[in-house]
Amino acid sequence: MPALLPAESGEDAWLRYSRLEQRVAQQYQTIPSAVVALGNSPALLNAQQEVIRGASGMLDRPFRAAAELSSEPAIILGTTAALHSAASDVQPPQIQGDGFWLTKRQVRGVDSILVVGLTERGVLYGAFALLRRIALGESIEYLDEVQQPYAPLRWIDQWDNLDGRIERGYAGPSVFFENGSVRGDLTRAAEYARLLASVGINGCTVNNVNADPRVLTPEFLPQLARIADVFRPWGVTLSLSVDFSSPKVIGGLDTFDPVDSRVQAWWSGKVDEIYRLIPDFGGFVVKADSEGRLGPATYGRTPADAANVIARALKPHHGIVFYRAFVYNHHLDWTNLKNDRAKAAYDNFHPLDGKFDDNVIIQIKHGPIDFQVREPVSPLFSGLEKTNEAIELQITQEYLGQQRHLCFLPPMWKQVLDFDLHANHKSSFTKEIVAGKTYRHPMGGFVGVANVGMEPNWLGHPLAMANLYGFARLAWNPDLGVRRIVEEWTRLTFGSDPLVVNTIVNMQLASWNVYESYTGPLGIGTLTNIVGTHYGPGVESSERNGWGQWHRADHDGVGMDRTVATGTGYTAQYSPEVGKIYESLKSTPDELLLFFHHVAYTHRLSSGKTVIQHIYDSHYDGAERAHQFVRDWERLKGRVDGERYQAVLDRLEYQSGHAIVWRDAVTNWFLRLSGIPDVAGRVGHYRERVEADAMQLNAYTPLDISPPETASKGKAVECTSNTKSCAAEFTFNGSAGSYDIDVQYFDMPSGEAKYRLLADGNVLSEWTANDRFPARQLDGDASTRRQLRLVLHTGEKIRIEGLPDGGDPAALDYVEIHPSAAKLASLPEPVHLTSDQDHQRLLDLLHITSLRPGPSGNPAAPNAANTDESKVPPYRLPNPLTLKNGKKVTTADAWWKRRRPEIVEGFDREIYGRLPHSIPKLNWELANISQEMNGDVPVITKKLNGHVDNSAYPFIGVDIQLTLSTPANATGPVPVIMEFGFTPEFLAAMARRFPAANPANGSTWRQQVLAKGWGYAVVIPTTIQADSGEGLTQGIIGLVNKGQPRGLDDWGALRAWAWGASRALDYFQTDNSVDARRVGIEGLSRYGKAALVTMAYDRRFAIGFIGSSGEGGAKIMRRRFGEQVENIASASEYHWMAGNFLKYAGPLTPNDLPVDAHELIALCAPRPVFISTGAPTVEGGWVDAKGMFLGAVDAGPVYRLLGKKDLGATEFPPLETAVIDGDIAFRSHSGGHTTGPNWPTFLSFAERYFKLNNEAGIASAIAR
């Protein structure tokens, strides 16, 4: 357990810069301590000071500002122009807009780190990116990356009022305004700008979209200039929301008609006035003709008229207008079944496409209603082909728990951004449209409504800042996966304790679905009180009014019919490809069913459940999962600082109770309306509850609650006395023991009532109701609970006393008593051993004092490995067709049933280790989907994250990275070749550093695969299991072993990597774009070993391409040539193998091995295998090309037994000779340690098997 951690308020957010663990910090020892800024502008000096502050804090050593370049190493910060002046020999790559370049280079002959941007803002972003890398413990050994923002506009809106209140803000008053003016102290605003800059936000609108016209008065504008002054050094542009009627309200005109020349002149003069005070002013946000705001409709004008009059005033100053598409009639006739608020944005703005000036951006909410828990993507995104667009996402949780409930929103946003709208009948994802890429617009981007406040942790809930961070990261790069984003945020905010990281990540990723489950599932909407606080349950509030958030529930069914055939016609606003999906009840996804269709309660979902039962089950499941959040968080006590631990615990305990309020309100409402009971008998039946109105009351008065479903049985009791307490009492008749007691009561913000809980006169607990909920009456907004764990005795008198205060009548709903949940079992913490320590541990288990050292790969070393064929001593291989009892194997049946299992057992026990009997379930999540070009072939690329369930051991997380690309024009499932690959960042860095290694003709292996009409995939082995002995108590091996060291026959990394490849194949079997019968596996070097192990153990793989796998792969291990068993058994490579393998480096020898490489190849039979090597004179003798060839030769008898062809050769072939006539193939190319030159030959070999179109032919060609 860590030492007591110092308290933190959350004010530093993700910029804590806490000292790194020594083992992590070691990799940064060579980072220069001098920090040079090539210029003295405020932004560059901020970047310099930020690097000094961050690096000093994390690395616990001094960093300093250096005035200029000298002969000492330095971190150099500057623009491309400044770099050219200071070091003209350094040629930066192409950088655009706010992008940056991070690299390690020699400058003036000394090693340096460069942070270069086209603009000073880009330099600032690069500085923060460098610090983020260090904070996350990421290697900078190969640092050489260019980052470009996905879209030019990445803005934040704040709905702050001039009096300091924030509309839909839940974290205290405004950081900008108070008492009608800009704050005198703008320190907090400057810190906010710093936070925004750290994640690439380049603009901020500081006032409410329901704008106060005073912001444009001559008296107020100089105050706003002070905010711009604190924004500017952080590269954040100030913008304002404006009231469109301002020319009349504050301008002295008798009109605000946008076509009136006086109005046009007024806007022009006002904008000029602003730019004199704020030269870098960004522009305006306009909300008009919506929810009572005046707009151009007053004069019969259009939004284009309104937007353009302002845009033309801004144009000479390069300013822009965000015109909100949130324009609708909130007085709709609800009795007209054709009325539909969802159609409003499209109906209002699509006819105006092409009529907006080029500095106007239409700001569109992500869904067609209003930030509900789930909505379809707004069709307007694909409906503005000639107009700039931006997506509006709400970071503040207006409808989603108002930061009292945990609800991580990037998974929702990611689904929206990755949705294919098929604009113009072409693949077009939302993210591409809003960034201006689809229609080639000059501007576009992302707007997030944040509404941070003066509370220390900015957003109220200590975990809610993940939403601001997530928004910014997606705005910078919407291709990022949400798991990566939340892992970054968690580690930056709470540190890298594995249990803390995995617990918070899992909670965050589950939270949106959990909130949806207990509020509004199936696309019905959030079911909150829409005409009031937008907070607690209020199912009825969205019906029978003009606001248009109807769900049309009645006695028989529920849902809005938005089809063309029978409903409002909303589905016609989408492209035909999308509209067709939603028009059909059958093809509409269940999660949006009730948004698009009115169905009977008895309608069955794809799960087989009826709609009504799903509503019941979902709410109970969601409430239980919310309660699980509490249990999960309690594991972190002592691992998170006390202040933040308690703050989060308090919110999660509240959420757990409020989820039950939601559960009961919604399920009872639907039970009452439908008359259909819950098949589980839960709804309306609460056997562990004692209703307050059924207790013995002293001065308490029963009352009906409205709406009735927001209190148990629709009733509560209140204390009407203002001078004395009231009491409610009952007798506990259960068995003596430990119980969880939940006291459900109401907390009104207009007073601070006090409560006491007593048993037989003894005070068990007392508290004050002062949580300040957004409640206006006793209902679901005010309902909360006190949760206690107590020992009760049979016959005890339980008494609750309430003392009212002000407008809080100390109201009581019920008491619920249930047996205490057993405390979670104590889990062992992960053991951290160095490779040397773990290696020695295995030797101790084997009772071995020392191992024979392996030969050196350096030909000049005294102990150089043998590469002379004449010095290879004779050896004897085990016969793959002879049983252990000496009997010969002569039939295929005997091979499959007897000999093959013997060989597998030998590899399991002595070589690669056994697969555990129980491995946690893996769930593949689609992190991103995009259409891109690879060469001249369009492909659909899916980035997947394979999350292994770590609920049984949260200390360790395993998230496998998999990328799948298939031809976009494929007409059906295609074969796929999957590679064990390096991370994209590593490959990109190496490609930049060693361009000569890139294919000379530009045809990569992926492009060659595409040329066959096939797809390709890459799985990253190190995301399955670390490639080190130190990592054996982490990764999938560590997770299965609950962080404890391996046993002697436990699996090693090669077997773990193979397991991960098999899980990727599991996914391929569910993906309609992949022909899972024709999936091949490829790898090079250590990953060539892994590819061969994969083929041997998983007979579903159709073909293997095994590149330079050497010792432990296709090379005969008994053969004394090149790398040896002793090398693999050393502390640097032993982690690939089982612990038992070490004994063959002393006291046993390779000749004692029960199996050898030829039998590993034989385990692949009858499926085809291609063995690839380089030239011995180029690649070197270390991998032993002939040894791999002989492995292929000696596997031949098994292939022949199974009716297949062997290699067809016994003499080692000359270079560039393809031996591919059999089902085992071999080729040595003339290059080095790569499979590159052999790809064309392999693909021709594979085509022999993959070109068959019938299942029987494929089966006979590939496998048994």
Phi, psi of 851 (to 5 degrees): -115, 155
Sorting pLDDT into bands at 50, 70 and 90, what band is 687?
A: confident
Phi, psi of 959 (to 5 degrees): -135, 105
To the nearest 10°, report the CA torsion of 1068, 1069, 1070, 1071: 40
For residue 1098, indicate whether it is catalytic.
Answer: no
Arch. (CATH architecture) of 539-560+598-674: Alpha-Beta Complex (3.90)
Pair of tokens at residue 450: 């944040």
Q: What percent of the chain has pLDDT over 90?
A: 90
Enter the DSSP assignment of 144: E
**Residue 906 pLDDT more than 80?**
yes
Fold classification of 22-147 (topology level): Chitobiase; domain 2 (3.30.379)
Interval 94-114 mean pLDDT: 95
pLDDT tens digits, 147-168: 999 999 999 999 999 999 999 9
Q: What percent of the chain has pLDDT over 70?
A: 97
pLDDT value of residue 997: 45
Homologous superfamily in CATH for domain 689-819:
Galactose-binding domain-like (2.60.120.260)
pLDDT value of residue 987: 62
Tokens 């220069």 found at: 32
Interval 127-147 mean pLDDT: 95
Catalytic-role residue among 138, 291, 554, 932: 291
Sorting pLDDT into bands at 50, 70 and 90, what band is 957?
A: confident
Fold classification of 188-478 (topology level): TIM Barrel (3.20.20)
pLDDT tens digits, 1021-1037: 999 999 999 899 999 99
Higher pLDDT, 1197 or 828: 1197
pLDDT tens digits, 474-505: 999 999 999 999 999 999 999 999 999 999 99
Domain boundaries, the chain: 22-147, 188-478, 539-560+598-674, 689-819, 910-1262
Q: Rounded mean pLDDT of the chain?
A: 94
**Residue 939 pLDDT more than 80?**
yes
Other CB atoms within 10 Å distance of the CB of residue 435: 25
pLDDT tens digits, 1034-1058: 999 999 999 999 999 999 999 999 9
For residue 561, indicate whether it is catalytic.
Answer: no
pLDDT tens digits, 565-622: 999 999 999 999 999 999 999 999 999 999 999 999 999 999 889 999 999 999 999 9
Enter the DSSP assignment of 1172: E
Residue from 798, 767, 801 nearest 785 by CA: 767
Catalytic-role residue among 50, 389, 398, 796: 398
pLDDT value of residue 120: 97
pLDDT value of residue 1238: 97
Interval 847-875 mean pLDDT: 95
Sorting pLDDT into bands at 50, 70 and 90, what band is 984?
A: low
Q: Is 1014 exposed, middle or buried (0-12, 13-18, 19+ CB in 10 A)?
A: buried
Q: Which residues of 980-1003 are buried (b: 16+ CB within 10 A; e: fewer)?
A: bbbeeeeeebeeeeeeeeeeeeee
pLDDT value of residue 1001: 54
Q: How far is CA 91 from CA 97, 149, 868, in A?
A: 18, 21, 46
Interval 164-178 mean pLDDT: 98
Phi-psi region of 1110 (alpha: psi -120 to 50; beta: other; left: phi over 0): left
Higher pLDDT, 825 or 947: 947
pLDDT value of residue 845: 96
pLDDT tens digits, 652-666: 999 999 999 999 999
The answer to whether the pTM exceeds 0.85 is no
Distance CA 286, CA 565 (A): 36
Q: Do domains 188-478 and 910-1262 have the same CATH topology?
A: no
pLDDT value of residue 1000: 43
Interval 98-120 mean pLDDT: 96
**Residue 993 pLDDT more than 70?**
no
Phi, psi of 759 (to 5 degrees): -130, 120
Sorting pLDDT into bands at 50, 70 and 90, what band is 761?
A: very high
String of DSSP letters for 421-486: --GGGS--BHHHHHTTTTTT-S-EEEEEE----SSTTSSSSTTTHHHHHHHHHHHH-TTS-HHHHH
Listed in order, strand segments (DSSP E) in 9-109 are 34-37, 64-66, 75-79, 100-107
Do 759 and 792 form a contact (C-beta atoms < 8 A)?
yes
pLDDT value of residue 829: 81
SS3 79: strand
Q: For strand 762-768 and strand 937-948, is the pairing parallel, antiparallel, or unpaired?
A: unpaired
The answer regarding whether domain 910-1262 maps to CATH 3.40.50.1820 reads yes
pLDDT tens digits, 432-481: 999 999 999 989 999 999 999 999 999 999 999 999 999 999 999 999 99
Sorting pLDDT into bands at 50, 70 and 90, what band is 824?
A: very low
Catalytic-role residue among 160, 340, 357, 370: 370
Ranking 538-547, 719-728, 1056-1065, 1252-1261 by mean pLDDT, the lowest is: 1252-1261
pLDDT value of residue 1101: 98
For residue 291, indicate whether it is catalytic.
Answer: yes
